[in-house]
Structure 1
Amino acid sequence: MPAVFSRCRARLTGAAVGAFALLLVGTAPASAVEKGVFYPESFTLSNGMQVVVIPNHRVPVVTHMVWYKVGAADEPRGQSGIAHFLEHLMFKGTDAVPAGAFSRTVAKNGGRDNAFTSWDYTAYYQNVARDRLELVMRMEADRMANLKLTDAVVYPERDVIIEERRQRIENEPADRIGEQIQATVFVHHPYGTPVIGWPQEMSRLTREQAEAFYKTWYAPNNAVLVVSGDVSAEELKPLAERYYGVIPARAVPERTRVGEPPIAAARRVELRDAEVRQPSIRRIWTAPSYRVDPDKQAYALQVLSEVMSGGPTSRLYRNLVVEQKVATSAWLGYSPSAWDLATLGAGATPATGVPMDKLEAALAEELRKVVQSGVTEEEVATAKKRMLAEAAYARDSLTGPAQALGAAVTTGQSIDEVEEWPVRIDAVTAEQVNAAARAVLGRENHVTGLLLPLKDKES
């Protein structure tokens, strides 16, 4: 599952990006056969910066986002956490906007701002009134080109991200095992390295490394401006040219990442902790992403996820929670938005008194049944209808469309591909869903993670 760490005003908050799993599976109009999701307008500045505008004139408010095509998976080896560290340092000021002034100015003008880092991208955003758009564009463009870092601001902030890791990961058993599962799924690819970084490397990050990362990747031709709300491309273009268009393009390296070696063995990760009150099981496979999908399975896997886990009538909930009563929750999740391989996972939490081995066997049996017997045409038709009906409301949001398109274009999708989502989902057949299920769930190279309390060691 993709991970994101966000810098908040408390400066200690990191957020899992589970919500982003819905980026491109919950954003289509109810009419599934017509092309169109957000109906954006787009243009490119002379320096290579892509601009995407999503008009929404319901209220005089805009979401302004700048996405950089760089994330934790692009870090130099041995510098894990540098992408997230730089995200924090981007708030430390320029000559024009001193440290702390950026967020204070946004708040003073009635808005809110934040930023987040994933393996594949880093993004900065502000939600402001329409008449404050030019203000945040000026400040965001300023720190794209003119960030000033000193030891006096860098090293105290390094202590902040180390403390963030302690609070968000090391003190949370569910996050600790999630980190270990991810590192076991990806044994060679940098997706196995946590976005926030490994602690022994975080403690050695330097100002010089942060500056080098900034100068390497933070260029207008490696960024995407996404603005959603009460504005049109015609209105935005002169502002984008005035503030972003004057920043010179720079040579940016291609993303070069090592591949994941073939692994045939099933693997297990177990964590016991006194703080665990609710045990759980997860099973994770690597899976195609939108960009890395040679067999065209991404859309079928989204439908499979809906069949298996789309509400109280879905297979896993109905069979494990309602009928067998071995679980209090059960799920199957898949997000195809990744530059390289994605993951597909299933999991459950046991009902009171149910041993973990019994729950694991029941979950495995449900997954075996879908591999061997498949899903029906009726299940697929119902799932697609539900996906598109629920998605009809997504465009009412300002931030949701901006997040969806930003994540899409920074992980290799085109705007046309995003807009074709309804047509592609509508075209998915039961045969395609079953083939995709066999291709992913039929493999035995999964990772099973068990989160357990210290007691009940017989489970």
Structure 2
Amino acid sequence: MRKITVLGLLAGILSFPALAQNKIEFKEFDLDNGLHVIMHQDNTTPIVVTSVLYHVGAKNEQPDRTGFAHFFEHLMFEGSENIERGEYMNIIQAHGGTLNAYTSNDITYYYESLPSNELELALYMESERMLHSKVDETGVETQREVVKEEKRQSYDNRPYGSILIETLKRAYSEHPYRWAPIGSLEHLNAASIEEFQQFYKDFYVPNNATLTIAGDIDYQQAEEWVRKYFSEIPKGTKEIYRPDVTEPKKTEEIRDVIYDNIQIPAVIQAYNLPPKTHPDSYAMSMLSTYLTGGNSSLMTKELVDKQQKALAIAAIPLELEDGGIFIMYGITNMGIEPQDLETEIDKLIKQVQAEGISDRDFEKLQNIIENDIVSSNSSMAGVAENLAEAHVIYGDANYVNKVMDAYSQVKKEDLQRVANEYLDLNGRVVLYYLPKTEQAAQ
């Protein structure tokens, strides 16, 4: 499950331990082929969410073949031996459902939400995707164009769109987190059909997948259908490749300038974080909320409202399995130089490092966390995703019921401690995003 990252400021009226986390009941079992299955029954509404989490992301790729995991997020909607090309989405939508998928550095996640009487259809569709997706020349060429267009719209032609790409390749020197999930179009163009087919055989196998069903189900019937559609899928024959790389701690600042199609400069800072499962990640999550999480956060009040040095300031705490990064960015106000904004950001970081936070601010943070945890499990889609991630990342699906307790162990002093531990001004990445017009004037 995702721990708290950039949060909305939800007003809380109770102290942190007062709001008990509602327990999520579930059942688990494994098939002989290694597929792990988690089922959660909630008969309050006639909806069921079916999801498959494949434990493969950008980090499982080779340096000269990046973008494969994200590419397969698209390719596996092409169809299968028994589902006509381009009909996957149409079939789900024709039965009253919605569906989507996403890829991160660590995982690829597919899900569909359907009326509960269509659960068997959802299981059949996901089993088809796992057993024999269409990984052929036609599908690959079609999705190459789709990914090219996505990269143009989301990265190349969007102001500040390359922040993640440019930050990752400087924040990591050795770990494969150094490239973003979108990867390289050159690598995708250079890859042979055999390479795509091998990637599918290596990673999209039942022993690298977690199937989650949440909603209006009968446990016995759901298990029967799971066994009917997934038991025949053969287990992968190769050991799943997982990079065994420890990113060295930075001891020097990395600083650079990126010229972009923008009108207003921006300042980006990035600090390396511990692994997602590290106990300090809870305190860092709360710290990021305190610094930039909403209109009443420290940096928004001080730099946007009071000093008016920034038009906006926010953070992206990218929590990753092997150690993520805390990306903070500020867009300068008119007439403000990036150096001026950076100086004020650093002053606030040093202030927290030296003084910590007040009791009142810490209590407000606790209330925000409470509300966020409750809201993350308020839908069947949220429950399904949180159960899957809890099993894969934390090794225990019951982690979904322990999140509140984990945050309750964080003390006010811990936020000051992790600020000093991880927001190291001498071991970070700093990027200035400047208009291309300034590059021409150099």
- TM-score under structure 1 normalisation? 0.87
**How far apart are 1:450 and its partner, in Å?**
1.8
Matched length: 435
The corresponding residue for 1:168 is 154
Paired with 1:101 and 1:20, the residues of 2 have a C-alpha distance of 36
Paired with 1:330 and 1:195, the residues of 2 have a C-alpha distance of 24
Paired with 2:323 and 2:271, the residues of 1 have a C-alpha distance of 10
**How far apart are 1:345 and its partner, in Å?**
2.5
The corresponding residue for 2:306 is 323
The corresponding residue for 1:416 is 398
**How far apart are 1:422 and its partner, in Å?**
0.5
SS in structure 2 of the partner of residue 348 of structure 1: strand
Question: Do structure 1's residue 304 and structure 2's residue 287 form an aligned pair?
Answer: yes
8 Å contact kept, 1:120–1:411:
no
Question: Do structure 1's residue 191 and structure 2's residue 177 form an aligned pair?
Answer: yes
> Which amino acid is 1:299 matched to?
Y
Paired with 1:423 and 1:160, the residues of 2 have a C-alpha distance of 43
Paired with 1:405 and 1:323, the residues of 2 have a C-alpha distance of 42
Paired with 1:380 and 1:285, the residues of 2 have a C-alpha distance of 22
1:185-334 mapped onto 2 (5 Å cutoff): 185-251=171-237, 252-273=239-260, 275-291=261-277, 293=278, 296-334=279-317
Q: Describe the superposition over 1:354-402 as per-residue Cα deviations: whole angstroms up to 9, x where unpaired.
A: 2222111111111111112222333222211222134433332222222
1:361-440 mapped onto 2 (5 Å cutoff): 361-440=343-422
SS in structure 2 of the partner of residue 144 of structure 1: helix
Paired with 1:408 and 1:253, the residues of 2 have a C-alpha distance of 19
Q: Relative to 1, partners in 2 of residues 1:286 and 1:139: Cα closer, same or farther, differing over 3 Å?
A: same
The corresponding residue for 2:56 is 70
> Which amino acid is 2:195 matched to?
Q
> Which amino acid is 1:164 matched to?
E
> Which amino acid is 2:387 matched to?
L
Paired with 1:102 and 1:138, the residues of 2 have a C-alpha distance of 11
The corresponding residue for 2:28 is 42
Paired with 1:280 and 1:32, the residues of 2 have a C-alpha distance of 41
**How far apart are 1:77 and its partner, in Å?**
3.2
8 Å contact kept, 1:290–1:413:
no
Q: Describe the superposition over 1:142-172 as per-residue Cα deviations: whole angstroms up to 9, x where unpaired.
A: 2211223332332232233233323322222
8 Å contact kept, 1:300–1:432:
yes
**How far apart are 1:22 and its partner, in Å?**
6.2
Q: Relative to 1, partners in 2 of residues 1:363 and 1:80: Cα closer, same or farther, differing over 3 Å?
A: same
**How far apart are 1:21 and its partner, in Å?**
4.1
SS in structure 2 of the partner of residue 175 of structure 1: coil
Q: Describe the superposition over 1:27-71 as per-residue Cα deviations: whole angstroms up to 9, x where unpaired.
A: x99856756564443332333211222333332112211111111
Paired with 1:335 and 1:416, the residues of 2 have a C-alpha distance of 23
The corresponding residue for 1:7 is none
8 Å contact kept, 2:259–2:434:
yes
Q: Describe the superposition over 1:230-285 as per-residue Cα deviations: whole angstroms up to 9, x where unpaired.
A: 22544422221111233232343251243323331111232223x31343222111
8 Å contact kept, 2:24–2:401:
yes
How high is the sequence identity, in percent, across the aligned residues?
A: 26
8 Å contact kept, 1:267–1:446:
yes
Q: Relative to 1, partners in 2 of residues 1:222 and 1:390: Cα closer, same or farther, differing over 3 Å?
A: closer
8 Å contact kept, 1:22–1:335:
no
8 Å contact kept, 2:155–2:162:
yes
8 Å contact kept, 2:275–2:281:
yes
Q: Relative to 1, partners in 2 of residues 1:390 and 1:91: Cα closer, same or farther, differing over 3 Å?
A: closer
The corresponding residue for 1:4 is none
The corresponding residue for 1:441 is 423
**How far apart are 1:207 and its partner, in Å?**
1.3
SS in structure 2 of the partner of residue 311 of structure 1: coil
Paired with 1:302 and 1:37, the residues of 2 have a C-alpha distance of 22
Paired with 1:31 and 1:374, the residues of 2 have a C-alpha distance of 22
1:108-187 mapped onto 2 (5 Å cutoff): 108-187=94-173
Paired with 2:18 and 2:28, the residues of 1 have a C-alpha distance of 23
Q: Relative to 1, partners in 2 of residues 1:404 and 1:32: Cα closer, same or farther, differing over 3 Å?
A: farther
Q: Describe the superposition over 1:392-449 as per-residue Cα deviations: whole angstroms up to 9, x where unpaired.
A: 3333222222233333433344223332110111121012221111100135211112
The corresponding residue for 1:6 is none
8 Å contact kept, 1:177–1:270:
no
RMSD: 2.8
SS in structure 2 of the partner of residue 271 of structure 1: strand
The corresponding residue for 1:354 is 336
> Which amino acid is 2:257 matched to?
E
8 Å contact kept, 2:271–2:423:
yes
Unaligned residue ranges in structure 1 (runs of 5+): 1-17
Paired with 2:236 and 2:164, the residues of 1 have a C-alpha distance of 37
Q: Relative to 1, partners in 2 of residues 1:54 and 1:81: Cα closer, same or farther, differing over 3 Å?
A: same
Paired with 2:213 and 2:90, the residues of 1 have a C-alpha distance of 21
